[in-house]
Amino acid sequence: MSPQEKLALIYENLQEKLKEDIIEDVVLKQQRSLKIYWGTATTGKPHCGYFVPMVKIAHFLRAGCTVKILLADIHGFLDNLKAPIELVKFRAGYYQFIITSVLRSLNVPIDRLQIVFGSSYQLSAEYTMDLFRLSSVVTEHDSKKAGAEVVKQVANPTLSGLIYPLMQTLDEQYLDVDVQFGGVDQRKIFTLAAESLPKINYKERAHLMNSMVPGLSGGKMSASDPDSKIDLLDPPDVVERKLKKAHCAPKEIDGNGLVSFVEYVLLPVNGLKMGGKGTFVVEKRKPEDGEPLVYDDIAALKADYEADRLTPQLLKSGVTKALVDLLRPIQDEYQNSSSWQEISNKGYPLAEVKKKEKKVKNLGTRFPGNKGGVEAKPDGHIEGAQKDQVNLETGAEEAMNNLDIKPKDAS
């Protein structure tokens, strides 16, 4: 692969690029392996939106890049306590299992892939001192603005949300990379990093951004919103049920998560597996409806969808079949790995369901089940076959004797 071909593959399907001259200097002039890092906070279970960065990481590896994946366990804790500190290490281990499984399923070489845990260097004295230095040149306003689309926003935020963007900035230096890669929602943090690192005498890095796939209900696909996502370990019946309910307005392309998923996941994944241009196949409901619809170009699919030749029902059916096939090797690996299952249970323990206490109903003395028990009369006395068991008609003397209390005149 020539340097120009490598560069084209690195840039393929990206939404935005910052400081391309840094990348082109390494690939075209120095002709060495471009060093890239992609990070993810280890919070909720990864969903199918993770296929978007995984496809790009596969492109980077095929282009000869050296890729580091940062499992940002400390970040997961800082982001408004999304991951309790006790669960952080288990969730980071779960992420390691599932990310490597996804990459293997895409048939990509991972010999130039390195997985790094944030806690392996972010707790050092040197890193902490640099964090102090960085905090002295970044304002509260700029840090808050940088994390606005990434850090969970709440009415009364903690200081941890301001530390999060600063750490992500420093990670570029401590991971020794040329480029940081992430979703376009990271743009403000990337801009902060580019502006801030030179202020503490570290070099500026380039940044690459992929598009964000809309969630099933519209908006961002989020690990914390179960209705917006499909988990990588969701079984076929769950995948089918969720996709049937997905927002997919007829003839509308903008904000259509299923069209975006075909564009940024299904077509490129098929291309990676086939070693060429990817295809997406939609089977017709009945043989008499004609031949299947086959797409190797997203523009043709979008045109058919806008013309209603590709209906929401057909699109959902095609995506369901393709996604179930895509998830199968990952789920098979999970089922065959007791270690992965164990760390999943520790990192994401099932919430205990509290049993509702059953209240004993007072059905009244005339209820058939009472069988002539007892009945309290208005004057306070008790009647019924079992009145001796509950009768309170005892005199004061008897009560005092039972309590072993003697009258005052007794000596």
Per-residue pLDDT tens digits for 77-135: 887 566 677 788 899 999 999 999 999 998 887 888 999 999 999 999 999 999 999 99
Residue 411: what pLDDT? 46
With a cut of 70, say whether residue 218 has pLDDT above it: no
The pLDDT-based confidence of 389 (bands split at 50, 70, 90) is low
Residue 58: what pLDDT? 92
CA distance 283 to 290: 9
Residue 26: what pLDDT? 97
Q: Are 41 and 168 in contact (CB under 8 A)?
A: no
pTM of the model: 0.79
Residue 399: what pLDDT? 46
The residue with greater pLDDT, 247 or 176, is 176
- How far does CA 65 lie from the centroid of its chain? 26
- How far does CA 262 lie from the centroid of its chain? 20
The whole-chain average pLDDT of the chain stands at: 85
Q: Are 282 and 318 in contact (CB under 8 A)?
A: yes
With a cut of 80, say whether residue 261 has pLDDT above it: yes
Per-residue pLDDT tens digits for 278-298: 999 999 877 667 889 999 999
Residue 373: what pLDDT? 55
Per-residue pLDDT tens digits for 162-189: 899 999 999 999 999 999 999 999 999 9
CA distance 354 to 24: 59
Per-residue pLDDT tens digits for 227-242: 678 999 999 999 999 9
Residue 297: what pLDDT? 92
Residue 356: what pLDDT? 63
In 3D space, the residue among 152, 172, 170 whose CA is nearest the CA of residue 161 turns out to be 152
Question: How many CA atoms does the CB half-sphere of 289 hold within 13 Å?
Answer: 10
CA distance 34 to 404: 93
Residue 221: what pLDDT? 63
With a cut of 60, say whether residue 372 has pLDDT above it: no
Q: Are 279 and 267 in contact (CB under 8 A)?
A: yes
Residue 322: what pLDDT? 96
The pLDDT-based confidence of 140 (bands split at 50, 70, 90) is very high
Per-residue pLDDT tens digits for 343-370: 999 999 876 555 666 665 555 555 555 5
Per-residue pLDDT tens digits for 19-44: 999 999 999 999 999 999 999 999 88
